[in-house]
Amino acid sequence: MRLDKLLEQENFGSRRHVRALIRSKQVRIDGKIVIDESQSVEPAIQEILVKDQRLQEPLHVYYMLNKPQGVVTAVRDATHTTVIDLIAPKDQRKGLYPVGRLDRDTEGLLLLTDNGQLGYQLLLPHKKVLKRYEVIVNGVLTEADRLAFAQGIVFVGGETCKSAELQILAAKAGHSHAYLDITEGKFHQVKKMFLSVGKKVTYLKRLSMGPIQLDETLEAGQYRPLNTTELQALKPYFTIHKKERV
């Protein structure tokens, strides 16, 4: 939420009064005076002082879900169970949505929040947010495949993927096990990348997104709120200024 909207919501005065308060250098965020009323803020991870009064109530919710296979990454669907359906009624919030998407047959880490600005920042191409996947394919991955991924896979039609790191864990007749690190999110990208080198993905699981790693204690379909350490790791994506909104 914008700083001026937050202070208005917290009854520090009208929008005009709040802006005057900010410009008079009476607001500090993490110890620094702030004069940009458009800055995005979140009391859950930032120390926000207004006239030495600290704001402490979180504005949003942030959940880590271990998405199971067979569930669609959508807010609603007329046919299939959605990731939102997996969230208990007591934890539901208006505007809750998944950050990015996983295919219906893909499992693993999915972030859900009602903070639209955070989700937008995590998905911006120039942020190059790293995502790691565990992959099993129905063929033998080779050093040539690793180099092809590093150079940037080119799809039929000329679309080029950015360099990706393929770590081959095991390769034998019939299948291979690997990790794949990418910084993009093209439609069906991981599956199409492996098809381009003649292998079909038979299992796909996302293990991490940026600084957030899947909590392996979560069973498929379970979720939990992000903890303080995880929220702090996301801090660069909360502190957003007007000039960054492009």
Of the pLDDT bands very low, low, confident and very high (cuts 50, 70, 90), residue 71 is very high
Catalytic site residue from 91, 103, 181, 215: 103
Domain count, the chain: 3
In a domain, 240, yes or no: no
In a domain, 244, yes or no: no
Q: Percent of the chain, pLDDT > 70?
A: 97
Q: Same domain, yes or no, for 220 and 119?
A: yes
Take residue 6 and report the two structure tokens written for it.
Answer: 């937050």
Query: Average pLDDT of 98-114?
Result: 96
Tens digits of residue pLDDT in 123-164: 888 889 999 999 999 999 999 999 999 999 999 888 899 999
Q: Same domain, yes or no, for 75 and 121?
A: yes
- Among 51-65, 106-120, 124-138, 189-203, where is mean pLDDT lowest? 51-65
| CATH code, domain with 140 | 3.30.70.1560
Q: Among the three residues 59, 86, 103, which one is the final residue of a domain in this structure?
A: 59
Q: How far apart are CA 121 and CA 26, in angstroms?
A: 28
Contact 43, 57 (CB under 8 A): yes
> Which is more confidently placed, 205 or 120?
205
21: Cβ contacts below 8 Å, ≥ 6 apart: 7, 12, 13, 27, 50, 51
Residue 91 backbone phi and psi in degrees, to 5: -100, 0
pLDDT at 2: 85
Q: Same domain, yes or no, for 18 and 42?
A: yes
Please give the mean pLDDT across all residues of the chain: 91
In a domain, 99, yes or no: yes
pLDDT at 172: 87
Q: In Å, how far from its chain's centre is CA 242? A: 21
Q: How far apart are CA 46 and CA 31, in angstroms?
A: 10
Take residue 186 and report the two structure tokens written for it.
Answer: 């093209």
Q: How far apart are CA 132 and CA 209, in angstroms?
A: 7
> Which is more confidently placed, 238 or 41?
41
Contact 105, 69 (CB under 8 A): yes
Take residue 237 and report the two structure tokens written for it.
Answer: 């994506």
Range of the domain at 104: 62-125+211-235
Active site residue 103: yes
Q: Same domain, yes or no, for 117 and 225?
A: yes
Beta bridge partners of 228: none
Per the listing, tokens 């520090």 go with 12
| CATH code, domain with 43 | 3.10.290.10
Q: Among the three residues 12, 42, 59, which one is the final residue of a domain in this structure?
A: 59
Q: Which of 96, 59, 92 is nearest to 231 (CA)?
A: 59
Strand 27-29 with 32-33, pairing: antiparallel
- Among 3-12, 95-104, 147-156, 180-189, where is mean pLDDT lowest? 3-12
Largest CA distance in the chain: 70
Asked if residue 17 has pLDDT above 50, the reply is yes
Q: Same domain, yes or no, for 25 and 72?
A: no
Q: Same domain, yes or no, for 100 and 221?
A: yes
Asked if residue 240 has pLDDT above 60, the reply is no
Residue 107 backbone phi and psi in degrees, to 5: -120, 175
Q: Same domain, yes or no, for 141 and 196?
A: yes
Which pTM does this prediction carry? 0.85
pLDDT at 246: 41
Q: DSSP readout, 162-197?
A: PP-EEEEEEEETTEEEEEEEES---TTHHHHHHHTT
In a domain, 49, yes or no: yes
